[in-house]
Structure 1
Amino acid sequence: MQKLDVKILDKIVKQTIAAVEKGKSQIFDIYEAARTEMENVKKDLERIKQETTEVIARVDGLEKKERRARLRLAEVHRNFRVFSEEDMKQAYQDAENVRVDLEVAREQERNLRRQRDDMELRLRNLKDTLQRAEGLVTQVGAALGFLGDHMETVLTQIDSLQQRQAFAAKIIRAQEEERRRVAREIHDGPAQAMANVVFRAEVCERLLENDLARAREELKDLQEQIRYVLKETRKIIFGLRPMTLDDLGLVPTLRRVLDTLRERSGVFPEIKVTGEEKRLSTHLEVGLFRTVQEALTNIEKHAKASAVLVRIDYRPTMVTALIEDDGQGFDPGADRSGTESFGIMGMQERISLLGGEFSIRSQKGRGTKVLLKVPLKGE
């Protein structure tokens, strides 16, 4: 029986290595795609800069031309007895034509400046993505080397084959559920919005030939639609992996999550921090964040709460987190099924892997309290 266990474990580890290698390849593909897009953005940025320079020069020329037209109009107006009615009409018409051309050129300049600023921001984000992708490829390579060199050690340190198999199955289910969630969010949000953007762009293209004023209005609406797509995309990216977690730490990231919860659901959230706030190891911050995030997701979906309180307490040897709501509550001892039960199991497993304690206290009609305790070993 022992030999069979080792063979199964060996197979699992090899499959894990294969999955990690596939992930490394996918990360590299993302890196290459981002690098290609960055080059394209650079070219587009140079083109926009050139067009902006040309339009600025045109605006300067039209401003001078408008001043001359206004001076001419003033001269005709002062000496109306000298100039004919036709001369006066021509002076008014020339001044109006120059004014219209100047307004159009100024609008083009404003649009080009906005495009230039957006592309410069996009270029900075792409550079950051490339740097992160390079770091991920390096880290995954190191992980592969560790797994390959220490496979026998890893196998001997696994205590229970049955528990690991069950845990691996839960991970797979969690991954599939997360993929479905992300796919659903992209389909219902940015994907449909982008299809609408394409349609509106085609409408604008046709209107440019016949109705310039309406085309401008459509373009303004199109800009708002694109901003919405960008906002929704950033929201999905934040849900996958908040950059603030790496840059600022646990508490600032939770504040942003609570702000999003307030905007999205109308729940009044609050966070209180006691003790000396400090940065923790990456795995601790990620584990704590994901657990608190899952608790907040359950509150939003099931609790029907009006207020949420998150307490983070930093102690010398421990970090505790209390997530409390005033919702409808539930019976913790009752048989539960579906995503809510799986979410609670996931929270328990995360805290267990961190060597901590997890507990839920709830009662129907009296809200719910989720308590996390994680030791700071070696921090």
Structure 2
Amino acid sequence: MDAGLDVNLLEGVIKKTIATVESSKRQIFEIAEHARREGHSINSELYEVRLQLADVINRVDELELNYRKARQKLVMVSRNFHDYTEDDIRVAYEEANQFQVELSIYRERENNLRRRRDDLERRLRNLHETIERAESLMTQIGVVLGYLTGDLSQVDQAIEAAKQHYLMGLKIIQAQEEERKRVAREIHDGPAQSLANVVLRTEIVEKMLQNERVLEAEMELRELKEMIRYSLSDVRQIIFDLRPMALDDLGLIPTLQKYIQTIEERTKINIDLVVFGKESQYNMDSSVKAGIFRLIQECLNNVHKHAKANFVQVKVEFTGEAVVLVVKDDGVGFKQEQQINVGSFGLLGMKERCKLLDGKMDIHSMPGEGTKVIFQIPLKV
């Protein structure tokens, strides 16, 4: 009875803790969303201020040129006042004075717009920092919730298992949260920003049409069309990164071929895919195919981000009991001892994914001699 009571008491405490943490997470999310909405509003205002500032700067340049000409004319008239009538002298003076007054007004307007622009940019930077801090806090809270919402009916077994595997579990939850944050950021920075820009520019087109600026409106609509096309491409890329549906429909090798072709077009890196054996001879689990695809995907991402390579060779060999993967590039490489202390989340993710697939991973690299990564993944996990 006492043991059961203790478990129930522990369960109640944890449930209250979970409710508090979830409430905190919602509040942080609301803060981040409010910051995003305010950032969108500031972005719109900043766009208008920059347009106005550009017009005012052009007007200031024009007025400065006119004022210099008027001053030169006034000096010439003053020096040769015998050759000019009083009306000529008065007109020259009034013209120079008018340009001077108008120039002062526009310079003051330019200074005000510059101050407004700088203030908006500073506020926008602060909002971005707030959003980043909120996302970091939500990631940490997500890790905590991942542990708190475990199965409380087997607390003793969970504690014993946690003694042996808590680091692995923490890394998996962190990887999940980082992946969710990455997808959210890609959507926010890509399609969401593009759609917000589309809304803003459609409003500009409406104003152009109201002012009968048809040609400018047509040009703006053509740019909008291209922007929407790029946004659609970004959405498809995000969907593909989440889960390539072609893995189940076409298989591993055709999906890799399609992905490598996309990477080549995007990064201009020459990638050669070499396959030994036939995939169709082996009935691979869906999880194994997805794991192999993610390992190669992460390798190519690392090559693109860090290796500065021009050529990459990807080898896939199907043996009786395993799949051997080799990804070799001609990039800058790194010192062999850095493998132990490397802090790359991508490299850490590959090692953890390889462990989950019961596989082995080896890295060979030297400065200036490129990098070779070798995986050996069993066909049955």
Question: TM-score, normalized by length of structure 2?
Answer: 0.55
Q: Secondary structure at the match of 1:365?
A: coil
Q: Residues 264-297 of structure 1: CA distance to partner in whole angstroms, max 9, x if unpaired? A: 2221111111111226210100111111111111
1:251 corresponds to which of 243, 250, 253: 253
Q: Tell me which residue corresponds to 2:356.
A: 353
> For residue 179 of structure 1, what is the aligned residue in structure 2?
180
When residues 347 and 189 of structure 1 are mapped into structure 2, their CA distance, relative to the original with a 3 A threshold, is same
Q: CA separation in 1, counterparts of 2:176 and 2:358?
A: 23
For 1:134-173, what aligned pairs fall within 5 Å after superposition? 160-173=161-174
- Shift of residue 169, structure 1, vs aligned partner: 1.0
State the Cα RMSD in Å: 3.2
Cα deviation code 1:201-231 (max 9, x no counterpart): 1122233342344433332222111111111
Contact preservation (8 Å) 1:324, 1:370: yes
- TM superposition shift of 1:321: 0.9
In the alignment, what sits opposite 1:61?
Answer: none
Equivalent in the alignment of 1:64: none
2:284/2:380 contact within 8 Å kept: no
Residue matched to 1:288: 292
CA distances 1:332-368 after superposition (whole Å, capped 9, x unpaired): 3225343x2x322322222222222211111111111
What is the distance in 1 between the residues matched to 2:192 and 2:158? 45
* Bigger radius of gyration among the two: 2
User: 1:345 and 1:288 mapped to 2: Cα distance?
Assistant: 15
In the TM superposition, residue 168 of structure 1 has moved relative to its aligned partner by 1.4
Q: Which residue of 1 aligns with 2:341?
A: 336
Q: Partner of 2:263: helix, strand, or coil?
A: helix
Other-structure match for 2:26: none
User: How big is the shift at 1:197?
Assistant: 0.7
Name the amino acid aligned to 1:336. Answer: N
- Could you tell me whether the CA contact under 8 Å between 2:271 and 2:311 is conserved in 1? yes
Residues in 1 aligned to 2:379 and 2:303: alpha-carbon distance in whole angstroms: 28
Find the partner of 1:312 among 308, 311, 316: 316
CA distances 1:280-332 after superposition (whole Å, capped 9, x unpaired): 21010011111111111111111111111111111222211111111111123
2:182 partner letter: R
Alignment of 1:240-279 (within 5 A): 240-278=242-280
Q: Kindly state the Cα deviation for residue 370 of structure 1 after the two structures are TM-superposed.
A: 0.9
> Aligned equivalents of 1:270 and 1:333: distance in 2?
28
Q: Distance in 1 between matches of 2:258 and 2:160?
A: 39
Alpha-carbon separation, structure 2, partners of 1:201 and 1:232: 21
| SS of equivalent to 1:202 | helix
2:244 and 2:255 in contact (8 A); partners too: yes
Q: CA deviation at 1:235?
A: 1.3
User: What residue identity is the alignment partner of 1:347?
Assistant: M
Tell me which amino acid in the other structure corresponds to 2:179.
E
Q: Which residue of 2 aligns with 1:366?
A: 369
Q: Distance in 2 between matches of 1:155 and 1:277?
A: 44
How far did residue 155 of structure 1 move?
8.6
Cα separation, partners in 2 of 1:173 and 1:156, compared to 1, 3 Å: closer
Cross-structure match for 1:200: 201
Residues 276 and 315, structure 1, Cα contact 8 Å, conserved in 2: no
Q: Residues 373 and 264 from structure 1, CA distance in 2 versus in 1: closer, same or farther, beyond 3 angstroms?
A: same
Structure 1 unaligned segments of length 5 or more: list them: 23-146
* % identity of equivalent residues: 44
Deviations 1:165-216 (A, max 9, x none): 1111111221232233223322332222212211221122233342344433
Question: What amino acid does structure 1 have at the position aligned with 2:243?
Answer: R
